[in-house]
A and B are shown apart, each in its own frame.
Chain A
Amino acid sequence: MSHLRVKKVEDNMKFKWGRKKGVSRTDERIQFYESFTYEDVEYNVYDCAYIYCKGDTETSICKLVKMFETPTHVKRVRVVRFCRPIDTRDVLGNHNPQWNELFLASGQGVGCRDYINPLEVIVGKCSVVCTSKDERNPHASKTELKRADYFFYRTVDVEKCVISEKFNDQIAGIKVEYFFNKRKDPKLIGPSNLKRNIKMEAGRSVLSSKIGLVEKGGSAVNADKSGNGVSPVLLESKRAMTSMGENRCMSNENSTLRPKATINKDGTEPSQISFRQDQDKAKVRYSDSLLPTNESDTRPNKKRKLLLDSQKEVPKKGEDIDGKAGNASDKMVPELAGNRGAKTHAQFLEVTRRPDAWDLESYVLMLDGLQIHNMEDRSTWFKKLPWDQRLQTAEEMGTLVLLNNLDPSYTSLEVEDLVWNAFNRRVEAKMIQQGTFSHPHYGKALVIFKSKDAAEAAISKLQSECLILEDGRPVVGCKGTLTQQGEPAKFFGHLVLDVNKRQRQRDVKRNAISTSHSAQPNTIEYDFAMEWRHLQEWTDICWRLLFEGQAKEMQELRSQLKPTEINELT
């Protein structure tokens, strides 16, 4: 086994920490990182990975939530576990999970919080997507689903042993957003990230090709793995495979168990080994992907059905989700994102980092009482509640700003970009949808800043200086005040007579609520309706006159603007 040892040393050399994140407040010698690279595979915080712990019979799948190095140079990683269906069989009850479904462990108890491991337990990368319909979860696209090894949309409370589709706001002290899929924000697709992703992909494919080399059945594994993907073409091969599965499983059981034995041996001295060698890794991964077929031993018929079901269902979900995700992601302006990425890359350090990762890490570190050195502002972290609720909170906290005189055709994303460029603040913004009373020339947007100070600074800067858009319109901002909720809204013009008094239906049908109709010309209703029409015409004329007058005034002022070069900021 001596050559193995040598190889391990080499493996050690292939390890590299990524960007530093901060140090522990309690012990400055504890260094946190946001990523590390091992064998060209980059592991970022909040990536998912297979881990193997001494004494376990199987690898587990985990989310890496923190990675750090102790003063004695021991690399450690904190994880939150996913449970496989087999782990949860005692609490499954009537649930019938698909073989590639996982459950996110939540609640207090073993296997969830504070699961700190030596970094060496990581065996390989794993892609897990969240298919939860939770509003906070950005929907996974079809391709993402296809590519993913596993999916999850339910949590299992390890303490109460309950499976639930609800996600609490925090799981193991981490904001639940980070367990969901990553946001596909155009801002995030900066050049550096892109590179990183490509690298990651390359790493993955290397790994999978290795599997192919190591085991004869490798191709079958690949097929199996892609089986949770969508391609209907695979259906046939899949069917053939399931019949093959029993044999394969028998023959592979030994070969997959053997590498595990070596792992166990290695596992006895975790501080010395850094990583297991490729072969083991590949095999563990392989055995992992074999899990369903292993299961099929015990209940072959059911299993086969499950497999086929999963194929039918997953694509359906994928389409569904893809449709929604497509709306959000495809509509972004690529130029804008590209330009911005390049520009910010040159000037600000923060931008090269993913803004969502930034939030997250500061949040996590704050939770643990750790300090971040280069933190720009201690932002307020909002839960991803529905927009109207977030607006309420923001108003209460004074972080809400109303921007006026934007171009009405701006999109919310463009406003976010604009604020980012003008104030160097990452905000959430939404354009106000225009309605009857909205000014056709002034676009308004509600912007939620991360802190009250940031919001106030932005307002005062907008007052003392001038933020000019390309066409010369200055942007103004004020504190955002929302419509008061509470008393029911009044609406004039729907008349209801006292029902008790009414004996007969005369000219007016009074019980017309929740019905619709056109008024007939021989009724009093029609006369009234005509009066309303007149009023509506009259108000329309008033509005038009007002808007025209205002536009004229504005035009006069704008004509006084001297043409100057306008810096391209965005």
Chain B
Amino acid sequence: MASLSAQADYAAFEERRKRTVYIDNLSPQVTEPVVRTALNQFGNVKSVQFIPNFIESRNIPQCALVEMENTRQAEAVLSEISQFPFMISGMPRPVRARHAEVGMFGDKPSMPGRTIRCRWLDENNPNFKVAQKTKALIWKNAAESAFLQKQVLQEEEKLARQQDETLKSNYKKFDLIDGITTTDKTGPADKLAKHYNLKIALD
């Protein structure tokens, strides 16, 4: 029988989970105070916890659990971030927000009343072959996930590069226009104005 305190603990944890928002696509430079100030405008941030990345590639974005004061505030953060592209500590890649899930918490309590059972199967067991196949499938799945993750990172890099190009070429254009309309009477615009005897209206 699950003890009352364990149940109460779990209920408290569920409450906490509901008012917690999972934020990802965070740059590695983002620190706790940055997230805190960024989300304080939607409510009161109670705690920020970065999910440590021990085994994945180092290049995956940071993600964090942000606990708000109540569920309403958490919902506000969620809707705000999904409606508008919200930038934290850099742009133009927006962050994303999701509901926090149980597995994301490092300090989750165990489910009350659950007993874990396990057993060893040896070769004679009728289920042994299936189990071995399952194990192979797990590795296969892990490899597939790793591959997809690589692809995603590549896509992201591609998009970032592409945008960088666009931004730079845009910038060149602006620079060019800047150059034409420089105000020191030597720019091309002034020369042309002189030539055609026109006046440039400067704002």
Query: Interface of A with B (CB < 8 Å)?
Result: 327, 330-336, 339, 388, 391, 402, 404-405, 408-414, 417-418, 421-422, 430-440, 442-444, 446, 465-470, 472-476, 480-485, 487-497, 501, 503-504, 506-508, 512-519, 524-526, 528-533, 535-536, 538-539, 542-543, 546, 550, 553-554, 557-558, 560-562, 564, 566-570
Cβ–Cβ contact A512 & B116, under 8 A: no
* Contact across chains for B92 and A519 when beta carbons are under 8 A apart: yes
Structural contact, B29 and A539, CB atoms closer than 8 A: no
Say which residue of A436, A517, A532, A561 sits within 8 Å of B159 (CB atoms).
A532
Docked-complex contact A433 and B105, CB < 8 angstroms: yes
Measured CB to CB, the nearest residue on chain A to B132 is A466
The reply to whether B115 and A492 contact each other, CB–CB distance below 8 Å, is: no
CB proximity to A under 8 Å, residues B76-133: 80, 84-94, 96, 101-122, 125-128, 130-133
Contact of A430 among B25, B106, B134, B170 (CB under 8 A): B106
Chain B hits for A487, CB < 8 A: 58
Assembly CA distance A240 to B151 (angstroms)? 75
Tell whether B34 is near chain A: CB-to-CB under 8 Å: yes
Contact A569-B118, Cβ < 8 Å, known A330-B9, A535-B159, A564-B127: yes
Contacts of B108 in A (CB 8 A): 409, 411
Task: Report whether B121 and A466 are in contact in the complex, using a CB–CB cutoff of 8 Å.
Answer: yes
Check: B168 CB closer than 8 A to any chain A CB. Answer: yes
Does B1 sit at the interface, judged by CB under 8 A?
A: yes
CB pair A414 B54 closer than 8 Å: no
Residue among B9, B38, B55, B118 making CB contact with A483, cutoff 8 Å: B55
For the complex of A and B, list the 5 residue pairs with the smallest distance between their C-beta atoms, beginning with the closest. A493-B93, A494-B90, A529-B85, A528-B92, A331-B109
Kindly identify which residue among A433, A467, A533 contacts B103, using a CB–CB cutoff of 8 Å.
A433
Measured in the bound complex, the distance between the Cα atoms of B168 and A473 in whole Å is 52
Alpha-carbon distance between A275 and B137 when the two chains are bound, in angstroms: 67
Contact call A391/B54, Cβ cutoff below 8 A: yes
Across the interface, do B24 and A514 meet the contact criterion of CB distance under 8 Å?
A: no
| Smallest CB separation, B76 vs chain A (Å) | 13
Q: How many residues of B contact A (CB 8 A)?
A: 99
Given contacts A435-B51, A468-B121, contact A514 B102 (CB under 8 A): no
Which stretch from B67-75, B141-149, B188-196 is at the chain A interface? B141-149
Which A residues are in CB contact (< 8 Å) with B113?
Answer: 335
Closest A residue by C-beta to B13? A331
Q: How far is the CA of A404 from the CA of B5 in the complex (A)?
A: 30
How far apart sit A554 and B131, CA to CA, in the bound complex (Å)?
11
Q: A516 near B164 (CB under 8 angstroms)?
A: no
A516-B37 in contact given A431-B106, A436-B60 (Cβ < 8 Å): yes
A–B pairs, 23, beta carbons within 8 Å: A334-B6, A391-B54, A409-B103, A436-B60, A446-B54, A466-B125, A469-B117, A473-B134, A474-B132, A483-B56, A484-B58, A490-B59, A503-B178, A506-B174, A507-B170, A518-B86, A518-B87, A524-B167, A528-B91, A532-B85, A535-B156, A554-B137, A561-B127
CB contact under 8 A between A564 and B144, given known A433-B52, A526-B85, A532-B94: no
Question: Among residues 5 to 45 in chain B, which have CB atoms less than 8 Å away from a CB atom of chain A?
Answer: 5-6, 9, 13, 24-25, 27-29, 34, 37-38
CB pair A497 B168 closer than 8 Å: yes
B134 with A433: CB separation less than 8 A: no
Residue from B28, B51, B86, B137 having most chain A Cβ neighbours under 10 A: B137
Contact A493 B89 (CB under 8 A): no
A517's closest neighbor in chain B, by CB? Answer: B87
Whether A333 touches B92, Cβ cut-off 8 Å, given contacts A422-B120, A491-B59, is no
**B180 within 8 A of partner (CB):** no
Looking at chain B's contact residues, the main secondary structure is mixed
Q: A417-B116, A495-B164 are in contact. List 14 more A-B contacts (CB 8 A).
A: A404-B142, A405-B138, A431-B106, A439-B145, A442-B141, A468-B118, A473-B134, A483-B57, A495-B167, A506-B174, A519-B85, A524-B92, A532-B85, A533-B94
- Pick the contact of B55: A482, A542, A553 (CB < 8 A): A482
Q: Tell me the complex Cα distance, A472–B134, Å.
A: 10
Judge whether A493 and B156 touch: CB under 8 Å.
Answer: yes
Task: Given A468-B119, A495-B92, answer yes or no on A438-B103 (Cβ-Cβ < 8 Å).
Answer: yes
Task: Kindly provide the distance from the CB of B187 to the nearest chain A CB, expressed in whole angstroms.
Answer: 14
| B202 within 8 A of partner (CB) | no
Contact of A446 among B55, B93, B170 (CB under 8 A): B55
User: What B residues does A570 contact at CB under 8 A?
Assistant: 115-118
Do A433 and B138 form a contact, CB below 8 Å, given A493-B160, A494-B27? no
Are B54 and A482 in contact, with the CB atoms below 8 A?
yes
Q: Does B185 contact A (CB under 8 A)?
A: no
Q: Is the CB of B3 within 8 A of A519?
A: no
Check A494 against B93 for contact (C-beta < 8 Å).
yes
In the bound assembly, the distance between CA atoms of A526 and B51 in angstroms comes to: 28
Q: Return chain B residues, CB-CB under 8 Å to A488.
A: 28
Q: Which of B34, B57, B109 contacts A411 (CB 8 A)?
A: B109
Q: Are A436 and B61 in contact (CB under 8 A)?
A: yes
Whether A516 touches B87, Cβ cut-off 8 Å, given contacts A491-B28, A532-B93, A567-B119, is: yes
Kindly identify which residue among A334, A531, A539 contacts B152, using a CB–CB cutoff of 8 Å: A539
In the bound complex, CA of A388 to CA of B25 (Å): 22
Least Cβ–Cβ distance between B55 and chain A, in angstroms: 6
Q: Which residues of A contact B105 (CB under 8 A)?
A: 433
